[in-house]
Structure 1
């Protein structure tokens, strides 16, 4: 490590590092060989755009710095250039340049990624160039095998099984850079075959001349195309006559992901070998959407070609791992700020292992990363082999059938007995499907059930065919990209990975361009909206929620206060009945307002029964009138609010149609990715944009007269932009991946989420979830049908079988089974919107109040009965223990105790006889003189049972 020259130099470097921390700039250093045309023209542009894609995903400002490596470039020189570098990515191919990068990594300890593509690769026994010394003590130095090398290595396993008996002629274009042509090595290793390499002719005249030379002059009839799909199709079209005569044996080995279609090619007999996306992630699609959204394709002229997707996905993975690594570094060392890597202060370098960030994603778009040896990784690229076969005399029979699948871990896996078997001789068919109940559902054991499965069983029984069903990898119906390539279910069908597509696949003109449809097996199905029900939660005591608890407490306080005030006025007013009984002795109703009567009066005044007789005094009547007015207002307000409160849920649903969704921005809405609904909205937005461009061109056309232009010049936009705004808002909200994700967003979105999809899937969601509802009417109605590979010979037979099932009402039986009798159907409580009445769930608390009152009355009745018997027992006991000569006046009844002011107080009651001594008895006899003649009458009264 080179030490600083002086303290001043140290200070300047520290100041520079501090400035870097302030601006939070993180540098990714991209090194390449000076003069490498392939690197500058075909690799660096992809890294530039991917850097633009990821730079906003890190807290720091991400900078991509490019450094050309000259023959005399040293690691010490590079140290001065990378003071603030965080990661080094090397695309250098020269051994000296690679060694320089290794020395730089050893000096700076910066995580370094070296892309390897300089020699043929194989799974076992691969060794790098002997001139390069791999580091042993640099855990963050990683070598990545370019995926094109992995793809090219499949030649070693595939071509020996092709039964090639003649020498090969390889026709190539520039799909692979001339300096990146290790595929030659693999072809040269095919045993017993000589290989000749020629440039592929591109124009019709040159193609015909090349065909004539190969077939007639050189007698070369086994051809391998290493070219793009477009160029291969052009060549095959011109060779129709020779293919029909069986004079050509053709193989296409291309990294172009566009499948062979060529509607004009009447005769084809060719093996098609190409990489195939795992479809587990859609990185390239998202990346391409970013390019179009930011107009990078128009401003910078950058686009992703179909034969570049394998490479672009690889560069995308590297930048993705680098950005996540830098983000994690910043989060880990956020307390002190991220210390940039440098060559001067190694102890200050903050680092984390880089490999976990590369391996975090279990599956990348073109396979997962596998460690071949310490520090050396490669991507397990899937490769598929198709057999394309057509004959001129059979224009309705076109085959593109997948024959085998290859990966580095599984090797070549044949689907049939031989790789060279003719597709028309194979009577076993592959059916791709997508899980969407009740049409298709998957059981825990992996088997499929549903409406379409039962229908396919009936069709197979009629046609006597065998088949296997597999689920599409990405779980989508498929969308088409800018290059015309499909993914999802449609992609499997177009490429030839499947013979039929089974599921709720709607018939659209866009899909009909690339696949064939049978007759519809299901009625017209439109698009509609799924939202969460806005019904409030049910509550037995919902009638109590009409008023808030503070209001209830205030009403209770007013009731107690008024009752107590009435009792006070009754007690102290000289005109009350209690204080002036002689004045009101002739009145029919005589009511004494004790505290108990006051409480009862105020309570009954709030009911239709009324409170009964009012107080006699004016002050009490004024209090009663005030209470009546208060009660009238309270009852009227409660009644009105109760009705509104129980019906307000019917008015809460503000979205009733698609137009209502378009007019608001609070509730998010979107269809699922790859669905027909997504295609509908995207296409409608494109149509509006196209109409706008036509209007703009017409209104700005200077060749028109001023009067004609004036007719087109309006203040308001003449074409609706409804779908343009909706599609923009949908992309901002984010499209859910699956219907399950959409339902979860409907349930959990804070401000609400509306899912827009096929009416059948929305109907099934409402069938299995009580809290979901369908909004609005259906629009954009389309039928469901089975899709087959273009030109498949069984298309008409399947259509006839479907018509037979429809005429015999078998499909109607299946519909009843999977809709009306579906085992997943849930029974939901009746909604308040289903009728005009109030459900028992909201008013049942009233009955609980009645039941509680009756139970309380029963308890009080039992208590009264017990209390009455207890008093009778005490009276009889007192009589039994009272001496016959006692002068006590036993006519004093216990009922008079506490019964009024004229009753005997507790102080005047005699004590128990057991506690009366002789002196007390003498005093009581002196104070309570009883006439002798009345003693017998008193005894008779005590002996009478009716006397209580």
Structure 2
């Protein structure tokens, strides 16, 4: 009977097992909503051939392949017909190995660069890269910065780097290689570079914080353009960026405004609300992974219906070599059918990859995220909202479609011939700051232009003999050119002949000279760490402390000791003579000590204060001495133009400027400064020797001779970026600016000036200067703005605290010694029956006999603690 019951029980147990199909899932991230999405998908599957569907879940730590292997084996041995794989790389790789070995279908929802044997429902990364490229082309991203999070991000962008690299300048920067959550250093670096176009690839865990820190460093303004590759970009709270006018473009598979996604959000987040009336608001939280989990499980459930009704449920032991018979069949069936899911139509190509899909192109605007286009496999990218360029400003005297002849000269970096291996024609032959400035003005105002070159590089001056202007100014007046641009200084004389636009670059005159060499150390260089005042106070403190110790030692009764304690003596001795006190202070100062040891409280306090004083002073001296020994003191023969005039003849320094330039004119007109007049007279008297026809000649002389060249500060800055042996000396002697010259009373002067001001406000002029001064043609070779390498002596302000503490301690010692003397005298008066005042006066008279170092004992035998009565 018992045997019959056991047999029936086993039969029904086996029957119940057969009636249930199990789908397993392994989760290695702490997100209960994903598990809820899995169970929601399980409940959506109808019974298959009379068998119900059950979901089995195993949770494992992230990146723990051993635990992942055990979880996979447990699910397989429990009869799982498929496993939804984990998301971390190590775990997923291990689970895939186990499933391949046992021929169990693996449902994968990760972003994988090259999917292998699993059924990967994530859109193929190579196709996503093609979409990135189409967006870059649509938004004219010619030069841009790629900001990525980690190695996985770089792998995803590898195809982009290969495909889009030719003909475009891409800068690749990792947001935070130390993984400490501080992205500002990288963001500040790209901000300083002037970059405005970015491709941002990072996880949703950090994406919002990255944008916040970018906003803090000034990279979220109306000048920046972002393409966000994260397909869950829309799930973030982007309220703080809506009104920044930043151009932020992204992509998504999930439309939170659709009814099905709103219902799904209500289902997945149903336990997170007290009022389900507003549950649809959480639809924007539904991300791609949740939707893929549901699509993968429900699609697999539909494919199970295509198997024979009596197909065998796997009963496999991980330790055996046995594999499931229907595993390969199921995998092939999934990859051969089409299924409409939350992420759109799911279908796989001949290689089993999800390459045919569609998604939406979105942008962040003031009202939130809006859809501006879509992409699908058959039609490609379709943008239905295009942002045209800003129209030219409506000003009086419109320049739209006008053509100007612009004259310039080949002066670095304002105008230069472009280096090219192929022949160039027209405006393409030239490059430089002035060339780019005209191009930017052309974009803003809509005019055309043609460059011509002034070969002799003369800016222009008034020829009194002919009564006409020469150089580029003369070409503008004569009508040979409409505009003139180069390092053309606006002067009152030139402005009387032509009109100038507003200043596009401010500058002054300074001195270009060789960098100073290291000065030879002085004979007393060891004293440099302290200023002269500190050395004087140090000497005063030394002698003052020595004398204080001597006086306190004489006054203190404890310092008078019997030299032979075992023998009665008539005299007491004191070790603190003046020379011993000086020796004690010397030993302490030199950190060597001495054989002398104070006994009384007061003298020990003085000694302690002196030790504290010497500790701080010696440490400060040692530290500052090291700084002096490791730094260089520059030996500059002059610090400004006034010193140059004084020492030039004595030290054999020559100085000059460009002939007939605005710099020479400045010294000629500066009649109220005697030194400037002396400079002008010297340059005129030695014109053949010190004056040059071109700035390049002056720079060469300054670099190879003992020669100071007066030059505009902008040109000096350009040269010192490339010639590390040169530097700028002194401050600017004046203030002036460069402008664009045009004929008198030109109707387009106001339009050009307004456009220049707008370029300045938008940062375009600063960007152009940084490009041609610090980046192109060898710029940035020499570091600028170096800190001074000259050591600074410590003055009284640096060490006054230690002096103050020492003085206070000495004063307290003086108070203590008088208290000690009074107590001693009072006790003595009680013992010898003499008045206190008489004994005190006797003590004082003895103490002022500074030469006496033997004190008579006035009592037959010493009292306890070393006191002797008289």
What TM-score do the two structures reach when normalised by structure 2? 0.33
